[in-house]
């Protein structure tokens, strides 16, 4: 009643797995996930069917949040498509600087799950398509002659920036990539 309802085992598992899978990789043990979430073993298999199902659901909800973050970032930058696009790299700079950052979770999942048939790949592919569409929309508004190709190039810059942030913490990869992006949208 007066006590706030404790999140159910499904929510607790998603939250704990989101954190543990990012920090320890998808090969983190089921026991560690259950212990961190304070959830019974059985609940995992009831709600997600197994570890793979949990991984997929974690990626799906993270993708939802990250896509919303892209939208919010661009909306906060105003109406100018150019400013909206460049704001993405400022945001990525913040993300890289966050304690505990060590790379793009979607790329990490794709590289770690070497079975090309793993359902997680569909989730990451869908996420990239969404980001590509967000970028392309701005590039169209900007009147870019080849918006689809330019969105490809933006994604290359984003992936490269996240990789650089994970492996070469010195320097400011987001600012370096922002320069390249500015060239890309400055005729």
The reply to whether 29 sits near DNA by the rule CB under 7 A is yes
- The answer to the question of residue 186 lying near DNA (CB under 7 A) is no
Kindly state whether residue 133 participates in binding DNA, applying the rule CB under 7 A: no
Residue with tokens 């990451």, as numbered in its chain: 124
Tokens 């984003």 belong to which residue?
Answer: 158
Residue 112 is a binding residue for a copy of itself (CB under 8 A)? yes
Residue 47 touching DNA (CB under 7 A): yes
| Pair 21, 88: CB distance under 8 Å | no
- Residue by residue, DSSP assigns 41-92 as HHHHHHHHSSHHHHHHHHHHHHHHHHHHHHHHHHHHT-S-HHHHHHHHHHHH
Q: Which does 183 bind (CB under 5 to 8 A by kind): DNA, a copy of itself, none?
A: a copy of itself
Nearest residue to 169 (alpha-carbon basis) of 102, 120, 111:
102
For DNA, the binding residues in 9-28 under the rule CB under 7 A are: 9-10, 12, 27-28
Residue 179 within binding range of a copy of itself, rule CB under 8 A = yes
User: What distance in Å separates the CA atoms of residue 163 and residue 6, rounded to the nearest whole number?
Assistant: 37
Nearest residue (CB) to a copy of itself, 9 versus 17: 17
SS3 content of the chain, % helix, strand, coil (to 5): 75, 0, 25
Of 12, 82, 128, 130, the one binding a copy of itself by CB under 8 A: 128
- Positions that interact with a copy of itself (CB under 8 A): 23-25, 27, 102-104, 106-108, 110-112, 114, 116, 124-125, 128, 149, 152-153, 155-161, 163-164, 166-168, 171, 173, 176-177, 179-180, 183-184
């Amino acid at each position: 009643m007066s006590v706030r309802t404790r999140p159910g085992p499904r929510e607790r598992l998603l939250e704990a797995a989101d954190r543990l899978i990012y920090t320890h990789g998808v090969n983190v043990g089921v026991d560690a996930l259950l212990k961190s979430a304070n959830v019974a073993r059985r609940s995992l298999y009831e709600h997600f069917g197994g570890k793979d199902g949990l991984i997929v659901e974690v990626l799906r909800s993270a993708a939802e949040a990250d896509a919303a973050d892209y939208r919010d970032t661009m909306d906060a930058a105003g109406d100018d498509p150019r400013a909206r696009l460049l704001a993405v790299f400022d945001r990525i700079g913040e993300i890289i600087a966050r304690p505990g950052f060590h790379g793009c979770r979607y790329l990490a999942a794709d590289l770690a799950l070497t079975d090309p048939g793993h359902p997680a790949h569909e989730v990451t592919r869908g996420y990239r398509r969404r980001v590509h569409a967000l970028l392309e929309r701005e590039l169209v508004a900007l009147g870019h002659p080849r918006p689809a190709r330019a969105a490809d190039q933006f994604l290359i810059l984003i992936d490269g920036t996240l990789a650089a942030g994970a492996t070469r913490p010195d320097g400011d990869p987001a600012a370096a990539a922002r320069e390249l992006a500015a060239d890309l949208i400055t005729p």
